[in-house]
């Protein structure tokens, strides 16, 4: 079904040059005030016109060590009060009421550190871009919402496609493997040979949890994984921490390490930080060194968690 798509902004189309770049007086920050309120009211109006009361979170992420926003990220990524501190419930496929969806839009307009697509499959979407650009798509033309947006001092311009349309990034969709029973049987066989492996659970598009699993721990770990998580299987941690740190290559690497209490976490470092690692990892039980460069980062296995009905709806690559 074709959608009616609008670019909703505070930028007057009359203030654009021949290439379409805005050259007017508006800045790219949220005012945290009436203009921001107008954006939220506009999104709510489009949703109401379409009959939408809930939206689904898609491909969520939070700021990591690199932040591209114009405002500094804040503690909690703008999600405090919406989700628990461990971000339970903020995952691909999670459905939230419009009240929560609008607060997510607010957090994204403010560059608080969280980003996601908000969608109702084949009927509606909200995508938040850089510099206060909002893209809304509806199965209906929503003339009331368009007029309301203009009344609030914003502009709703019809366009052909959102630049955040996931179809623009789905060329490799055939390569996604579901973490189905066949995957788990293959993983059991691998662990039978190797004794243990490290499972990286990508619960957001740019954040992971780590699990060291043996055969006895495969089934309980499987039940605890985040819906639609990306799963990468890596070799087991090495207990020879000194040897692993001594052999660190130049460039950016990810160090996965197990604390004395057994918790597994990771940090990214480059050669300028190597000298600080022995003190930083004092007491670590074991480590695993992974390159941060995609062409050097090859897991033993990779898959994406399907939905409970067995259908793979997550769009990101493992």
In eight-state DSSP terms, residue 72 is -
CA 262 – CA 280 distance, rounded (Å) = 16
Quote the percentage of the chain above a pLDDT of 90.
Answer: 75
Q: Taking the C-alpha atoms of 285, 210, 208 and 63 in order, what is their torsion angle to the nearest 10 degrees?
A: -30
Q: HEC string of the chain? A: CCCEEEEEECCCHHHECCCCCECCCCCCCCCCCHHHHHHHHHHHHHHHHHCCCEEEEEEEEECCCCCCCCCCCCHHHHCECCECCCCCCCCCCCEEEHHHHHHHHHHHHCCCCEEEEEEECCCEEEEECHHHCEEEEECCCCHHHHHHHHHCCCEEEEECCCCCCHHHHCCCHHHCCECCHHHHHHHHHHHHHHCCEEEEEEEECCEEEEEEECHHHHHHHHHHCCCCCEEEEEECCECCHHHHHHCCCCCCEEEEEECCCCCEEEEEECHHHHHHHHHHCCCCCEEEEEECCHHHCCCCEEEECCCCCCCCCCCCCC
Q: Are the C-beta atoms of residues 159 and 27 closer than 8 Å to each other?
A: no
Q: Is the pLDDT of residue 73 over 70?
A: no
Q: Is the pLDDT of residue 72 over 80?
A: no
Q: Is the pLDDT of residue 315 over 60?
A: yes
35-49, 52-66, 161-175, 229-243: range with lowest mean pLDDT? 161-175
Confidence of residue 71 (pLDDT cuts 50, 70, 90): low
71, burial (CB in 10 Å: exposed 0-12, middle 13-18, buried 19+): middle
In eight-state DSSP terms, residue 42 is H
| pTM of the full structure | 0.88
The 10s digit of each residue's pLDDT in 260-312 is: 999 999 988 888 888 888 888 888 999 999 998 888 889 999 999 999 999 99
189-193, 250-254, 271-275: range with lowest mean pLDDT? 271-275
**Helix axis angle, 143-151 to 34-50, nearest 10°:** 170
> What residues contact residue 246 under an 8 Å CB cut-off, 6+ apart?
none
3-state SS assignment for residue 28: coil
Confidence of residue 234 (pLDDT cuts 50, 70, 90): very high
């Amino acid at each position: 079904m074709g959608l009616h798509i609008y670019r909703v902004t505070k930028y007057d189309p009359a203030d654009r040059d021949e290439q379409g770049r805005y050259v007017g007086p508006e800045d790219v920050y949220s005012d945290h005030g009436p203009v921001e309120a107008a954006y939220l009211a506009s999104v709510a109006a489009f949703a109401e016109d379409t009959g939408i009361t809930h939206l689904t979170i898609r491909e969520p992420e939070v700021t990591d060590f690199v932040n591209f926003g114009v405002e500094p990220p804040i503690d909690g990524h703008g999600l405090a009060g919406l989700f628990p501190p461990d971000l339970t419930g903020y995952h691909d496929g999670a459905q939230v009421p419009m009240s929560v969806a609008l607060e997510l839009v607010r957090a994204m307009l403010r560059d608080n550190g969280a980003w996601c697509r908000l969608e109702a499959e084949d009927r509606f979407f909200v995508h938040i871009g850089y510099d206060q650009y909002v893209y809304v798509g509806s199965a209906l033309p929503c003339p009331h919402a368009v007029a309301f947006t203009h009344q609030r001092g914003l502009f709703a311009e019809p366009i052909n496609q959102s630049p955040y349309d996931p179809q623009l990034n789905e060329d490799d969709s055939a390569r996604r493997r579901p973490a189905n029973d066949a995957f788990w049987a293959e993983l059991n066989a691998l662990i039978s040979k190797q004794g243990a492996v490290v499972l990286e659970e990508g619960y957001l598009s740019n954040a992971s949890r780590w699990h060291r699993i043996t055969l006895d721990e495969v089934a309980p770990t499987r039940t605890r994984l985040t819906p639609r998580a990306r799963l990468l299987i890596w070799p087991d941690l090495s207990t020879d921490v000194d040897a692993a740190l001594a052999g660190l290559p130049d460039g950016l690497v990810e160090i996965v390490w197990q604390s004395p209490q057994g918790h597994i976490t990771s940090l990214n470092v480059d050669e300028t930080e190597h000298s600080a690692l022995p003190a930083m990892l004092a007491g670590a039980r074991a480590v695993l060194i992974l390159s941060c460069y995609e062409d050097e980062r090859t897991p033993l296995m990779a898959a994406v968690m399907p939905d409970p009905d067995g259908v793979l709806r997550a769009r990101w690559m493992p």
